[in-house]
Amino acid sequence: MSSSTLVAVGPGLAVAVVVLALLAAAVSRLGGLGHERQVLVAALRAVVQLTAVALVIGVLLRSFWLSLIFVALMAAAATWTAGRRLTRGPGWWWAAVPLLAGAAPVVLALLLSGLLPRTGLAVIPVSGILLGGAMTATSLAGRTALDELRSRRGELEAGLALGLLDRDAALLVCRDAASRALVPALDQTRTVGLVTLPGAFVGLLLAGASPVSAGAVQVFVLVALLAVEAVAVVVVTELVARGHWR
């Protein structure tokens, strides 16, 4: 195995991916989780999508503007994914609001300040990490808020009967539960270096960066993710409280 590779790429890796996907699906089936089909589809999509990206990424990295177009496509895919978690109706595109409210200002500030070089090699991975965090936070917080409003309908109606505005009554019911969408990011940040060594840190080490430099970049990424996800949670909870997707 090359020192610049985390795992050996070859037939053995392909077999391992297939076996692990089938194992995950089997466990889901035997455990009654009901996600065996989604597990297999997700694994297949990951293989196809990453293969496609690997084939075109070299071209994208040569142009800053092509990289921005690719980031826009990433944002669109994240919006679709999060939006379809919140509704099957036409309003799925509202998911773009918390996503972009969280990730776009951070990426823009990094570019304008010069902390993030204007190269595809820097813009694509950083934007992808931040959009991915915003997407997860939007899905979790929005789905949880909607579930709370449906299961605690009586409390919502009691608040309305007391004279609260619909938004205020909805926030009282769902905001605390929706805020738990930040727990994964908080736990990851609290335990970094003790429990986990995240991808940015490992990737930089494999690329030849010093441990100190890799650690500094990883801390920045984690703190940026906290900011992005906090904004996404607040915005999506506000949208749910104002009646979107209900």
CA distance linking residue 166 with residue 8, whole number of Å: 56
- Where in the chain are the domains? 1-61, 63-241
The pLDDT value given to residue 98? 95
Q: What is the pTM for the complete model shown?
A: 0.79
239 CB-side CA count, 13 A: 27
34 CB-side CA count, 13 A: 0
CA distance linking residue 99 with residue 231, whole number of Å: 9
Residue 45, pLDDT > 80, answer: yes
47-82 per-position pLDDT tens digit: 898 888 777 777 777 788 888 898 999 999 999 999
Q: Which of 39, 38, 37 is nearest to 17 (CA)?
A: 39
The DSSP result for 98-146, as a single string, is: HHHHHHHHHHHHHHHHTSS-SSHHHHHHHHHHHHHHHHHHHHHHHHHHH
88-124 per-position pLDDT tens digit: 888 899 999 999 999 999 999 888 888 888 887 788 8
Residue 219, pLDDT > 90, answer: no
* Mean of per-residue pLDDT scores for the chain: 86
For 81, other C-beta atoms within 10 Å of its C-beta total 17
For 83, other C-beta atoms within 10 Å of its C-beta total 24
The pLDDT value given to residue 3? 47
Which structure tokens are listed for 32? 């009654």
144-183 per-position pLDDT tens digit: 999 999 999 998 889 889 888 889 999 999 999 999 999 9
